[in-house]
Amino acid sequence: MYTRGMTTSERLIDATRELLWERGYVGTSPKAIQQAAGAGQGSMYHHFAGKPDLALAAIRRTAEEMRATAEAVLGGEGPAYDRLAAYLLREREVLRGCPVGRLTMDPDVVASEELRAPVDETLDWLRGRLTGVVQEGLDSGELTGPLNPAELAATIVATVQGGYVLARASGSPAAFDHAVRGLLALLSTRTA
Between CA 24 and CA 22 the distance in angstroms is 6
| Neighbouring residues of 168: CB distance < 8 A, sequence distance ≥ 6 | 95, 97
Between CA 178 and CA 192 the distance in angstroms is 24
Q: Is the pLDDT of residue 3 over 60?
A: no
Between CA 103 and CA 122 the distance in angstroms is 12
Contact between 43 and 127 under an 8 Å Cβ cutoff? The reply is: no
Domain spans in the chain, listed from the N-terminal domain onward: 59-188
More reliable by pLDDT, 44 or 116: 116
Q: What percentage of the chain reaches a pLDDT higher than 70?
A: 97
pLDDT at 145: 85
pLDDT at 42: 87
Tens digits of residue pLDDT in 150-192? 999 999 999 999 999 999 999 999 999 999 999 999 998 888 6
Q: Which CATH class is domain 59-188?
A: mainly alpha
Tens digits of residue pLDDT in 111-132? 999 999 999 999 999 999 999 9
The rounded mean pLDDT for the chain is: 93
What are the C-alpha distances in Å from 69 to residues 24, 63, 133? Answer: 22, 10, 15
pLDDT at 28: 93
